[in-house]
Structure 1
């Protein structure tokens, strides 16, 4: 994920957690906060220690970022997003994870074009 699309600072994460809205399914939680001054969206990814060891968490984090990166044109701009992984994600393969991530984003009505991503 390019630098302009990254949400990295602790204060930015805290702002999204505190003032943003959230949407969830069994595998992921999506927090989102409008940022009208931004030209694009910014994404932060978080995987708790409860999910697994460092190897597992880093692998999940990379997969989550790659899923968003490949279809970033479908994300609504002018938002900060935080995507949290829950424990059931560890048993999913890439395709199931992709489907679940886009499900939670669609559920939050944050897709730019609904016709691009199929169920």
Structure 2
């Protein structure tokens, strides 16, 4: 199933733009970085996944990316429109069950949404 190509970050410049944003949450199995979408943005949230060789061999890295994309697909309806996410996998992600990974991602996204709302309220 997966997520469509229109919802994936593909270009290196897109990844760098999101990684430069100040919204970063360190979870156990991964790091979630977010660039909030503008108010006028009606597009769907986008995702990019980074899995370095430190995570493991190619099989393990690809499995991790598939898991993160599936978690993103399931939670895309609750994410703010136009936002962009980069998930950086850590080496111990495979010690967590799918439900735990999903819970970590949901908590990270909720924290990011709260931070962006608090930042907008203070302006």
Name the TM-score, length of structure 2 as normaliser: 0.80
- Count of residues in Structure 1 that have an aligned counterpart in Structure 2: 110
Given candidates 3, 7, 11, the residue that maps to 2:13 is 11
**1 CA distance for matches of 2:85 and 2:75?**
15
Native 8 Å contact 2:23 2:112 kept in 1: no
* Offset from partner CA, 1:41-84 (integer Å, 9 cap, x none): 11101112111100000001001101111221011112111011
Unaligned runs of 5+ in 1: 111-119
In terms of Rg, which structure is larger?
2
Query: Partner of 1:65 in structure 2?
Result: 69
Runs of 4+ in 1 over 6 A off after TM superposition: none
Give secondary structure in 2 for the equivalent of 1:108. helix
Whether 2:75 is the aligned partner of 1:75: answer no
Relative to its length, the structure with more helix (as a share) is 2
| RMSD of aligned alpha carbons | 1.6
Unaligned runs of 5+ in 2: 115-123
